[in-house]
């Protein structure tokens, strides 16, 4: 995974040799915020050398007004920037026009091209690489269609400098999209089988969701430090024993899973790629395979940065809920993280202000560990109910193997021996209880109550 080191304040620094860029944004009203696009630029390896904003309606030809584009050109010259990163969805015609005003060789990168660039840098698994390729192709398809429309209308190839259009390009993109979807479906089927195998082994599946930089990876490390997955265990050979926690966007692109031992239950925690604001539907759909780990979990922990302003927290909570509740049936617990950054009384104020979208959040600091014990308790409370069972077994090698199996797959409250019998009282998932009963029935003489 690529990425720069952090400075003393925990902020991401541009890596050595990074390209200089100017970040720019247009908004219809209000004041443009460049904080997130600057973080994205840094995550992609750019050094932000200048900033430019404009509040006005979109210009069909340039996105910005022509005068502002001239300002952008001058800023690029003064800062010696090699790229302009526009925090908007810039059309192919607008991209060409802006580039025509800028000094020769300066690249125009829009928000989604930048995101795809970051994803491409971080894609270290076949699944992640396929999802990035799918997103890139879905991004390119409407642009290829636009070239076709413009070229046909003008009856000249390369109309408005968009390049010569060949209808086979569009067909090839659609063919590649279909092939990638087929391969991702095959991977998804294998992952679903693996999830069911883990459930059959007694594991509960808990997913961490939330926006980038909310502290999901740090929280995962805090929850899972006590017990790492055995990398030599073939049942879980795909599991990662580490999760990065740098203060950068997208340090986690694919899924990272670790094992955490609660008081009663064995839990597998999965950290996924973080949400970011203003993502188009086609980009979210391209990473649907990764989001399956969230949709198919037994419980979702929605991690929110509690140090952000209330308005920002509310917007992210609403967007996250829209994404999660679209397909997810598991309970969602909201986690207010980074409470160590709050002033006295600020947490209570934010709880009250956000009670409509986060009615019962749990407050933690993944950095200091505050509230993590309470979070563990909450996880156990929110997971699907277990059944209680009491088995009376004859003392034998087979019975001892069954008792050991119950210890591995459930929580044994009491184990007693009397004469030639052993009594084991335990709690476990209904499927585990049913299997324990079936195994006990095979022992003779066997007795259960």
Global pTM exceeds 0.75: no
pLDDT reading at 164 higher than 70 = no
- If asked whether residues 279 and 360 sit together in one domain, one would say yes
Higher pLDDT among residues 387 and 226, named by residue: 387
The three-state DSSP-derived secondary structure of 111-125 is: HHHHHHHHHHHHCCC
pLDDT of residue 82: 96
408 is in an annotated binding site: no
Query: Is residue 1 included in any domain, yes or no?
Result: no
- Which two structure tokens, joined as six digits, stand for 202? 């007694």
Q: What are phi and psi of 87, to 5 degrees?
A: -85, 55
- If asked whether residues 306 and 329 sit together in one domain, one would say yes
Confidence of residue 255 (pLDDT cuts 50, 70, 90): low
pLDDT reading at 289 higher than 60 = yes
- If asked whether residues 348 and 213 sit together in one domain, one would say yes
Higher pLDDT among residues 319 and 302, named by residue: 302
Query: Is residue 142 included in any domain, yes or no?
Result: yes
pLDDT of residue 272: 74
pLDDT reading at 226 higher than 60 = no
**Residue 112 near residue 280 (C-beta atoms within 8 A):** yes
3-state secondary structure (DSSP) of residue 314: helix
pLDDT of residue 311: 93
pLDDT reading at 11 higher than 50 = no
pLDDT of residue 1: 28
In the listed set 361, 382, 403, which residue is the last one of a domain according to the structure?
382
170: enclosing H helix or E strand: helix 167-200
4 is in an annotated binding site: no
Query: Is residue 145 included in any domain, yes or no?
Result: yes
202 is in an annotated binding site: no
- Which two structure tokens, joined as six digits, stand for 17? 């040799």
List 52's β-bridge partners, or say none.
24
pLDDT of residue 147: 66
pLDDT of residue 428: 84
Question: Rounded to whole angstroms, how far apart are CA atoms 219 and 23?
Answer: 31
Angle (CA) 443-446-449 rounded to 5° is 130
- If asked whether residues 288 and 242 sit together in one domain, one would say yes
pLDDT reading at 59 higher than 90 = yes
Question: Rounded to whole angstroms, how far apart are CA atoms 309 and 301?
Answer: 21
Query: Is residue 198 included in any domain, yes or no?
Result: no
pLDDT of residue 232: 34
In the listed set 120, 155, 179, which residue is the last one of a domain according to the structure?
120
210 is in an annotated binding site: yes
Confidence of residue 411 (pLDDT cuts 50, 70, 90): confident
257 is in an annotated binding site: no
- Which two structure tokens, joined as six digits, stand for 62? 């340039």
pLDDT of residue 86: 96
Q: What are phi and psi of 121, to 5 degrees?
A: -70, -30
From the number of C-beta atoms within 10 Å of its C-beta (0-12, 13-18, 19+), residue 140 rates as: middle
Question: Rounded to whole angstroms, how far apart are CA atoms 239 and 224?
Answer: 13
366 is in an annotated binding site: yes
Q: In this prediction, what percent of the chain has a pLDDT beyond 90?
A: 35
pLDDT reading at 238 higher than 50 = no
Question: Rounded to whole angstroms, how far apart are CA atoms 194 and 213?
Answer: 29
25 is in an annotated binding site: no
214 is in an annotated binding site: yes
- Which two structure tokens, joined as six digits, stand for 437? 């009963």
Mean pLDDT calculated for residue range 43-57: 94
Confidence of residue 159 (pLDDT cuts 50, 70, 90): very low
Mean pLDDT calculated for residue range 200-211: 82
369 is in an annotated binding site: no
List 301's β-bridge partners, or say none.
208, 333
Number of domains the chain contains: 4
Q: What are phi and psi of 413, to 5 degrees?
A: -80, -35
pLDDT reading at 44 higher than 80 = yes
pLDDT of residue 136: 87
Question: Rounded to whole angstroms, how far apart are CA atoms 83 and 397?
Answer: 71
340 is in an annotated binding site: yes
pLDDT reading at 193 higher than 50 = yes
pLDDT of residue 10: 36
273 is in an annotated binding site: yes
- Which two structure tokens, joined as six digits, stand for 296? 């198919």
Question: Rounded to whole angstroms, how far apart are CA atoms 440 and 283?
Answer: 51
**Residue 77 near residue 24 (C-beta atoms within 8 A):** no
Q: What is the pLDDT of residues 390-409, one digit of tens each?
A: 999 988 888 899 999 888 88
pLDDT of residue 141: 83
- If asked whether residues 241 and 327 sit together in one domain, one would say yes
Handedness of CA 380, 386, 388, 393 (dihedral sign): negative
Q: Using CA atoms in the order 290, 327, 187, 275, what is the torsion angle rounded to 10 degrees?
A: -10
Confidence of residue 169 (pLDDT cuts 50, 70, 90): confident
**Residue 395 near residue 420 (C-beta atoms within 8 A):** yes
274 is in an annotated binding site: yes
Q: What is the pLDDT of residues 324-356, one digit of tens each?
A: 776 667 889 999 999 999 999 999 999 999 999
- If asked whether residues 284 and 368 sit together in one domain, one would say yes
pLDDT of residue 444: 59
Tell me which residue of 36, 40, 32 sits closest to 14, measured CA to CA: 40
Mean pLDDT calculated for residue range 242-252: 43
Q: Which residues contact 362 (CB under 8 A, 6 or more apart)?
A: 333, 334, 335, 336, 371, 374, 375, 378
- If asked whether residues 238 and 108 sit together in one domain, one would say no
- If asked whether residues 135 and 169 sit together in one domain, one would say yes
7 is in an annotated binding site: no
pLDDT of residue 239: 39
3-state secondary structure (DSSP) of residue 223: helix
Question: Rounded to whole angstroms, how far apart are CA atoms 110 and 91?
Answer: 9
- Which two structure tokens, joined as six digits, stand for 10? 């925990």
* CATH number for position 409: 3.30.70.1710
Q: State the residue range of the domain holding 54.
A: 19-120
* CATH number for position 264: 3.40.50.300
In the listed set 91, 120, 149, which residue is the last one of a domain according to the structure?
120
53 is in an annotated binding site: no
211 is in an annotated binding site: yes
- If asked whether residues 360 and 393 sit together in one domain, one would say no
- If asked whether residues 324 and 412 sit together in one domain, one would say no
38 is in an annotated binding site: no
- If asked whether residues 358 and 335 sit together in one domain, one would say yes
pLDDT of residue 146: 66
Query: Is residue 341 included in any domain, yes or no?
Result: yes
- If asked whether residues 342 and 215 sit together in one domain, one would say yes
Pairing of strands 204-210, 83-86: unpaired
Query: Is residue 132 included in any domain, yes or no?
Result: yes
Q: Which residues contact 99 (CB under 8 A, 6 or more apart)?
A: 106, 107, 108
Which residue matches tokens 């790229």?
A: 83
**Residue 268 near residue 198 (C-beta atoms within 8 A):** yes
Mean pLDDT calculated for residue range 53-64: 95
Pairing of strands 421-428, 411-418: antiparallel
Q: Using CA atoms in the order 289, 294, 298, 299, what is the torsion angle rounded to 10 degrees?
A: 180
Confidence of residue 242 (pLDDT cuts 50, 70, 90): very low
Query: Is residue 197 included in any domain, yes or no?
Result: no
Mean pLDDT calculated for residue range 35-50: 91
Q: What is the pLDDT of residues 77-136, one digit of tens each?
A: 999 999 999 999 898 889 889 999 999 999 999 988 898 888 888 777 788 788 888 888
């Amino acid at each position: 995974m690529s990425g720069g080191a952090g400075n003393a304040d925990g902020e991401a620094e541009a890596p050595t040799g990074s390209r200089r860029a100017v970040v720019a944004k247009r908004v219809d009203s209000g004041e443009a915020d460049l904080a997130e696009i600057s973080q994205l630029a840094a995550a992609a390896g750019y050094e932000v050398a200048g900033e430019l904003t404009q509040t006005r309606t979109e210009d069909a030809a340039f996105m910005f007004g022509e005068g502002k584009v001239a300002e952008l050109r001058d800023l690029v010259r003064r800062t010696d920037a090699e790229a302009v990163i526009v925090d908007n969805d810039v059309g192919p015609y607008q991209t060409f026009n802006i580039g025509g005003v800028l000094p020769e060789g300066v690249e125009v990168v829009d928000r989604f091209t930048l995101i795809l660039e970051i994803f491409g840098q971080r894609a270290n698994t076949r699944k992640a690489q396929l999802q990035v390729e799918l997103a890139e192709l879905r991004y390119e398809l409407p642009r290829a269609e636009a070239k076709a429309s413009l070229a046909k209308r003008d009856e000249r190839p390369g109309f408005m400098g968009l390049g010569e259009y060949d209808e086979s390009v569009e067909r090839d993109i659609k063919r590649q999209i279909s092939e990638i979807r087929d391969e991702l479906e095959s991977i998804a089927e294998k992952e679903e089988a693996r999830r069911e195998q883990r459930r059959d082994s007694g594991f509960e599946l808990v997913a961490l969701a939330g926006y980038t930089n909310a502290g999901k990876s740090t929280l995962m490390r805090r929850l899972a430090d006590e017990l790492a997955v055995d990398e030599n265990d073939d049942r879980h050979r795909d599991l990662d024993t580490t999760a990065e926690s740098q203060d950068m966007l997208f340090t986690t692109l694919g899924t990272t899973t670790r094992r955490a031992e609660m008081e009663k239950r064995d839990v597998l925690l999965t950290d996924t790629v973080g949400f970011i604001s203003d993502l188009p539907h086609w980009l979210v759909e391209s990473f649907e395979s990764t989001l399956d780990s969230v949709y198919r979990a037994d419980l979702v922990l929605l991690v929110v940065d509690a140090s952000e302003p209330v308005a920002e927290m509310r917007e992210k909570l609403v967007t996250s809920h829209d994404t999660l509740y679209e397909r997810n049936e598991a309970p969602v617990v909201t986690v207010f993280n980074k409470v160590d950054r709050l002033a006295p009384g600020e947490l209570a104020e934010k709880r009250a202000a956000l009670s409509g979208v986060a009615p019962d959040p749990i407050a933690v600091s993944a950095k200091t560990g505050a509230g993590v014990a309470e979070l563990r308790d909450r996880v156990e409370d929110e997971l699907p109910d277990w059944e209680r069972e009491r088995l009376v077994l004859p003392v034998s090698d087979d019975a001892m193997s069954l008792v050991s199996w119950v210890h591995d797959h459930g929580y044994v409250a009491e184990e007693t021996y009397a004469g030639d019998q052993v009594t084991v009282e335990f709690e476990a998932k209904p499927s585990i209880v049913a299997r324990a009963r079936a195994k006990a029935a095979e022992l003779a003489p066997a007795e259960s109550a």
